[in-house]
Amino acid sequence: MRITQSMLSSNSLKNLSESYRRMGTYQDQLATGKKITKPSDDPVVAMKGMFYRSNLTEVEQYKRNLSELYLWMENSEAGIEQANNGLQRVRELVIQGKNGSMSPTDREAVAREVEQIKDDLVQVANTQVSGRYIFHGTDTDHPPVPTENPPKVAANLADPAIKAYKVEISRGVSLTANVDPNGVFNQELFDVVQEIQTALEDDKAGDLDPLLERLDGAMDNLSSERSELGARYNRLEMIDDRIAQQEVMANRVLSDNEDADIERVITDLKTQESVHRAALGVGARILQPTLLDFLR
């Protein structure tokens, strides 16, 4: 087959264009740090990248859910502790009020302190986090104690349908964020505090003994709910550690699939530049402008 000058020129230009394309690919990899810049560069890498990125997005969403659980549980813990401290103080005041040496005026003063504690208990029961009531189960839009004096809890507080506020922490697994609304700030708790206040106001020290027993029962309920909340908090921390490991692994797999090996890319680029210079030099020698240049 006869090789013409135009064939040499055409093949040389084609090869030089391919060389430029390869150098451009390496330069794009260096600039972006990625193996590909568009799906057509490597469809397999692109498809795997979509799958791995979806997994990473899912893990990141679970981490945000964990943050919400931490917020709810920590605020619930703080609320229960504050309520327990208030009831402990009420208990001390009841024992003090039973003292026969106290005058009606003294018991009235004690009743005023009990009233302040009662009002504080109402405020704690109506604690909000991000505009949602955390002690009212799934009915987070309404306060669990809408009536403050005397305190009356919401009619649905004991309804099992609103008991658990769950947050998904992994695929198909949810964890309860709240405490049992009827096990903490129930009507019995507010009734016994109100009756203690009334007995002190009416100077009826004899009524305080049975009220003290009921108060101890309310405090036991708080302690039980606090223990259950602590157990769930421990589980939450273990789940948090596991999800953190999943995030590290998901990022590593995504990096292995998409990130370019910079050292190798630099080496390949330098190699390609050398090949390109050699091709330019050879092309300049072969593609002579006149027939006389071939005869020299």
Structure tokens that stand for 92 in this block = 């001390």
Strands 151-152 and 147-148: antiparallel
CA angle 153, 162, 215 (to 5 degrees): 40
Pure H helices in the chain: 5-32, 43-97, 104-125, 181-184, 187-201, 208-258, 262-286, 291-295
List the beta bridge partners of residue 151: 148
Q: How confident is the model at residue 113 (pLDDT cuts 50, 70, 90)?
A: very high
Percent of the chain with pLDDT over 90: 44
Nearest alpha carbon to residue 84 among 198, 201, 156, 179: 179
**What's the rounded Cα separation, in Å, for the pair 296 and 285?**
12
- List pLDDT tens digits, range 205-252: 888 889 999 999 999 999 999 999 999 999 999 999 999 998 888 888
Nearest alpha carbon to residue 222 among 193, 191, 189: 189
List of domains in the chain: 64-227 (1.20.1330.10)
- List pLDDT tens digits, range 132-149: 999 998 999 999 999 878
Q: Which residues contact 49 (CB under 8 A, 6 or more apart)?
A: 254, 257, 258
Higher-scoring residue by pLDDT: 207, 275: 207
User: What's this model's pTM, rounded to 2 decimal places?
Assistant: 0.76
Q: What is the DSSP string of 103-130?
A: -HHHHHHHHHHHHHHHHHHHHHHT-EET
Which amino acid, one-letter code, is at 204? K
Which run of H or E residues covers position 168?
Answer: strand 166-170
Cα dist. 217→143, 164, 188, 212, 222 in Å? Answer: 24, 23, 9, 9, 9
Q: Which residues contact 113 (CB under 8 A, 6 or more apart)?
A: 89, 93
> Which of 163-177, 202-216, 269-283 is the least confident region?
269-283
Model pLDDT, residue 289: 58
Strands 132-133 and 147-148: unpaired
**What's the rounded Cα separation, in Å, for the pair 55 and 20?**
37
Nearest alpha carbon to residue 38 among 51, 53, 27, 28: 28
Model pLDDT, residue 285: 65
